[in-house]
Amino acid sequence: PRLANAAHETLRSLASPSSLQGPELHGWRPPVDCVRANELCAAESNCSSRYRTLRQCLAGRDRNTMLANKECQAALEVLQESPLYDCRCKRGMKKELQCLQIYWSIHLGLTEGEEFYEASPYEPVTSRLSDIFRLASIFSGTGADPVVSAKSNHCLDAAKACNLNDNCKKLRSSYISICNREISPTERCNRRKCHKALRQFFDRVPSEYTYRMLFCSCQDQACAERRRQTILPSCSYEDKEKPNCLDLRGVCRTDHLCRSRLADFHANCRASYQTVTSCPADNYQACLGSYAGMIGFDMTPNYVDSSPTGIVVSPWCSCRGSGNMEEECEKFLRDFTENPCLRNAIQAFGNGTDVNVSPKGPSFQATQAPRVEKTPSLPDDLSDSTSLGTSVITTCTSVQEQGLKVNNSKELSMCFTELTTNIIPGSNKVIKPNSGPSRARPSAALTGLSVLMLKLAL
């Protein structure tokens, strides 16, 4: 019984999220990725045999029987000294799935049943938002001029910046095309292929581009709608009915990648009431990266509406039909919809602030209250778009809204193609597509209408 209790405590300590956080694990051995740890273990006969034994032990349904088994205890003691217990993975690494499979082959059996929060299998994030700002300002062309920045539609600027980078433009065009391709009158798109294309975009394109598209600050509804449409939600996010959030979590946890991204989100965005920003280690970058990492999976989150004054994100799920699990379901959902860490992080990126970066501190009040109101980064009487840009984007938004109602993917595709891909950054000129003059007419009409509205305004 004493040995069993010791093994039980070891399992509990190793399985707890707190034991796996921070740059140093156990304080005496730097972690290696799980693929390399597996290779090191396989090269040592004692470790490899014990690893096989432990996997057989953990595969058993009766956990107490496993703890009482001397062979299982011996395997646990040996492997506790191996790199396998400390191993981590890197998001986007070449053998990420294999790495995660090795990680979960051990850690799924370390817990007593289903855990609400699971430890992240990924290495801790050490970079900060300030690193992203330095890179983003190079490509934005407006970072140094507050007047120009104030009159810009930041979400449109983000699309322009993406188009100036070959990799970003290529992968963005790919997911827009795939997610907008109607399969049949009853099937709006191939969601599986859409999710895969989105994962490739957010994993392979540098965050100075992807963050600007996902977390751009908005002062009007047209801008906020463009931000909401970034991931083509009619295909990647929305569905006919909303599943129960706990059921959706259960589906996510059957997939090693989805399970890992969700665990990473909880590890980096879980609201902390012991930090200034409500984020673990006051690291906005870690939270935003974890949020972006969930896009393209069953747990894909998105903005729930196109309101520019508030930031509310959620997976496509609800807590209806939760029964006696309603409290747990609501708690799970609030980690998205009422998460002060996540909301502060999104606001911080939109405002261009970070902890200990601005000499006068953040330009908004980071709060630990359940709901955090967005403080505009610009005065109320200024728009984040020029007059021309606003009229064009408003027209685009109306087309998008109509397209969503009638499920007309061609209109939505035209809107994205004409108003993001073919506008020359820094000018109001629209490039005629190579497909012929007939495709140029909608752009010319929108431009003519915009100029007319501008003249009337003057």
Question: What residue segments make up the domains of the chain, in order of their start?
Answer: 34-107, 153-351
- List, as own/partner pairs, every contact residues 182-190 make where C-beta atoms lie below 8 angstroms and the sequence separation is at least 24, other chains included: 182/409, 188/234, 188/235, 188/407, 188/409, 189/234, 189/235, 189/409
The stretch 375-392 carries a mean pLDDT of 33
Least-confidence region, from 192-201, 276-285, 421-430: 421-430
- Residue 363's contacts (CB-CB under 8 Å, 6 or more residues apart) are 351, 352, 353, 375, 377
Tell me the three state secondary structure of residue 430: strand
Question: Count of CB atoms within 10 A of residue 186's CB?
Answer: 6
CATH number of 153-351: 1.10.220.110
User: Can you give the pLDDT at residue 132?
Assistant: 66
Question: Does residue 324 carry a pLDDT above 50?
Answer: yes
Question: Does residue 295 carry a pLDDT above 60?
Answer: yes
Tell me the three state secondary structure of residue 423: strand
Q: Which of 224, 92, 235, 223 is nearest to 176 (CA)?
A: 235
- Reported as a pLDDT band with limits 50, 70 and 90, residue 456 is very low
User: Residue 123 and residue 374: Cα distance in Å, rounded?
Assistant: 31
Question: Does residue 413 carry a pLDDT above 50?
Answer: no
Per-residue pLDDT tens over the stretch 236-251: 999 999 999 999 999 9
Q: According to the per-residue pLDDT averaged within each range, which of 225-234, 306-315, 345-354 is highest?
A: 225-234
- Reported as a pLDDT band with limits 50, 70 and 90, residue 361 is very low
The stretch 355-376 carries a mean pLDDT of 41
3-state helix, strand, coil in the chain (%, to 5): 60, 5, 40
Question: Does residue 416 carry a pLDDT above 50?
Answer: no
- Token couple for 26: 């156990």
Question: Does residue 419 carry a pLDDT above 80?
Answer: no
Q: Which residue has the higher pLDDT, 129 or 374?
A: 129
Q: What residues does 89 pair with on adjacent strands?
A: 122
User: Residue 336 and residue 339: Cα distance in Å, rounded?
Assistant: 6
The stretch 136-148 carries a mean pLDDT of 48
Q: Which residue has the higher pLDDT, 377 or 304?
A: 304
